[in-house]
Amino acid sequence: MMPYNKQSNGDLLPDKRPAERHRSMVPYIIAVVCLVIAAGGYYAWKYLPFARKPKQVVISDTVELKVYAPLPPSKLGARSVSVKATLTDREKADAIMAALKAEKVLPDGIVLTEFAAGPDGTLFLNFSHELATMKLDPLAEVQTVYSIINSFLANFTRAKSVQLLAGGQAFFTINGTMYTYKPLEFNSQILED
């Protein structure tokens, strides 16, 4: 209830005590200012990048390529090969070929002459004509074909299948066991457990 003063004409007016009214609001104003300063300090500490130790970012300059090679008796095992992270796709394909030759999957005379990716996710690998005339027993033929297929598909993640070519032409089979005329997909059943 507010106190009232009587004026000379008889009207009642509210009691005006501005100093008391302002004094009662001072603690509230101080509390609001303190909250604003605290919130601003927290925001600056949390979100502004000044006066903080920079985080160390490690950028690897090498990547691991996965190469599949035959394992006794009839499986494929994965090996890792370190290469520069900045390789082009063609250089990566050449690194895979070098690793396959080092693992004795392919003889030194077979060369990857062309490498291209189709819009449907098919990799076209054009080898020298010696690939189609290799003399392999049935198990070695299956392991050789899937060493190539799995190695390329494991390292080119957007690819879905691989079309093998020899001398620019698709061929039906290497030695009569594996049908290679159409693109082949990754075969996980032949991998070691």
2: tokens are 């507010």
Q: What's the total number of domains in the chain?
A: 2
In this structure, the answer to whether residues 88 and 13 fall within a common structural domain is no
Alpha-helical runs (H) found in the chain = 18-47, 89-102, 138-155
Alpha-helical runs (H) found in 84-182 = 89-102, 138-155
Q: What is the mean pLDDT of residues 38-56?
A: 75
Res. 18: pLDDT tops 90: no
- Could you tell me if residue 17 is inside a domain? yes
28: tokens are 């509230």
Q: Which residues contact 53 (CB under 8 A, 6 or more apart)?
A: none
For the question of whether the overall pTM of this predicted structure is more than 0.95, the answer is no
113: domain range?
Answer: 62-170
Buried-exposed string 67-80: b where 16+ CB fall within 10 A, e elsewhere: bbbbeeeeebeebe
Confidence of residue 1 (pLDDT cuts 50, 70, 90): very low
Q: What is the pLDDT of residue 44?
A: 78
Confidence of residue 92 (pLDDT cuts 50, 70, 90): very high
Q: What is the mean pLDDT of residues 165-187?
A: 93
